[in-house]
Copies of this chain bind each other. A is one copy, B any other.
Amino acid sequence: MSKFDVLTVGNAIVDILARCDDSFLTENGIIKGAMNLIDAERAELLYSKMGPAVEASGGSAGNTAAGIASLGGKAAYFGKVAEDQLGAIFQHDIRAQGVHYQTKPEGAHPPTARSMIFVTADGERSMNTYLGACVDLGPEHVEPDVVAQSAVTYFEGYLWDPPRAKEAILDCARIAHENGREVSMTLSDPFCVGRYRAEFLDLMRSGTVDIVFANKQEVLSLYETEDFDLALTKIAADCKLAAVTLSEEGAIIVRGDERVKIDAFAIPELVDTTGAGDLFASGFLVGYTQGRTLADCGKLGCLSAAIVIQQIGPRPMQSLKDAATREGLL
């Protein structure tokens, strides 16, 4: 029996979302569809060029935790904000969703992280993230009891960007495994994989990570190949279980020799892809921790992703549990 179904760990970020034309991305050197890391100076410059925006709590693993709670799962989160208004917003939103979140903000500088997310007409989101207070996350923020009591501990590959978060993750993984729990990660972003390929592969091959989430581009980047089938074979060998999302083609789950293909849910309108991968992980992990079949885990993931991409912002504004119940998945 675990107190939490899933503990997620990630960069605690408030999203600032606005629409833009594709030409805006080109003119400002923003890689489309990617997470572009920026410093404070570039954050100010880009904000001065950004159109009117809306704000919403985000952060990949934060979104996953919120999605798990929205599906009725028990979730916990570790991530670092500052003592400022954006930090208060982040804390409010994740706690109001029912997620255990106790990481203490310590001072107002650097400020709470924000990501300026530009959404183009095709619904694709291009992120520009200033890490702010996230750079302070370290092993001292690990709550050992929470790790020990979580069926799965899940973290972002993005955590390899700030300096000391990986130390926290290695502590989490050790505690989780000592308590017979599982450890999961998302590869986060193809460029993130490019930055930390060797370390991510080592996490998998050393057994530090059991379950891997990725999209097609990230898996191809991980194995530096264009051969998706080969990449799937390789990831199946490197970890116990991998769930690979394929945008409008759904997802494929690989476990040893087993491969389970899931179709995407048809949606009337794609509004904003922000949070799609994060919410897939929510749905999958809720199914997984309930002991459901891989096919049903995948369906829960695809449904959760389908719901979040029909709105602006990364956290569903409706109850995912109700939606999953209507679909007969919960």
Chain A residues close to B by CB (< 8 Å):
16, 19, 47, 50-57, 66, 84-86, 89, 92-94, 96-97, 111, 312-313, 315, 317
Query: Given the complex of chains A and B, what is the CA–CA distance between A312 and B56 in angstroms?
Result: 12
Residues of B within 8 A of A92 (CB): 47, 50, 52-53
Most-contacted residue by chain B among A56, A92, A94 (CB, 10 A): A92
- Please name the residue on chain B nearest to A84 by beta carbon: B85
Query: Given the complex of chains A and B, what is the CA–CA distance between A111 and B86 in angstroms?
Result: 13
Residues of B within 8 A of A84 (CB): 84-85
Query: Given the complex of chains A and B, what is the CA–CA distance between A137 and B34 in angstroms?
Result: 43
- Please name the residue on chain B nearest to A99 by beta carbon: B52
Distance (whole angstroms) from the CB of A307 to the closest CB of chain B: 14
Distance (whole angstroms) from the CB of A20 to the closest CB of chain B: 11
Residues of B within 8 A of A111 (CB): 85
Contacts A55-B55, A312-B317 hold; do A50 and B96 have CB atoms under 8 A apart? Answer: yes
Distance (whole angstroms) from the CB of A16 to the closest CB of chain B: 8
Query: Given the complex of chains A and B, what is the CA–CA distance between A312 and B50 in angstroms?
Result: 20
Residues of B within 8 A of A54 (CB): 54-56, 313, 317
Besides the known contacts A16-B89, A50-B92, 11 further A-B residue pairs in the complex with CB atoms under 8 A apart: A52-B57, A52-B93, A52-B96, A52-B97, A52-B315, A53-B89, A55-B55, A84-B84, A84-B85, A85-B86, A312-B312
Asked if A89 and B55 sit within 8 Å, CB to CB, the answer is yes
Contacts A84-B85, A85-B86, A92-B47 hold; do A19 and B52 have CB atoms under 8 A apart? Answer: no
- Please name the residue on chain B nearest to A317 by beta carbon: B19
Distance (whole angstroms) from the CB of A41 to the closest CB of chain B: 16
- Please name the residue on chain B nearest to A111 by beta carbon: B85
Residues of B within 8 A of A50 (CB): 92, 96
Residues of B within 8 A of A51 (CB): 96-97
Query: Given the complex of chains A and B, what is the CA–CA distance between A193 and B173 in angstroms?
Result: 61
Enumerate 18 A-B pairs (CB-CB under 8 Å) in ascending A order.
A16-B89, A47-B92, A50-B92, A50-B96, A51-B96, A52-B94, A52-B96, A52-B315, A53-B93, A54-B54, A54-B55, A55-B55, A55-B56, A55-B89, A84-B84, A84-B85, A85-B86, A312-B312
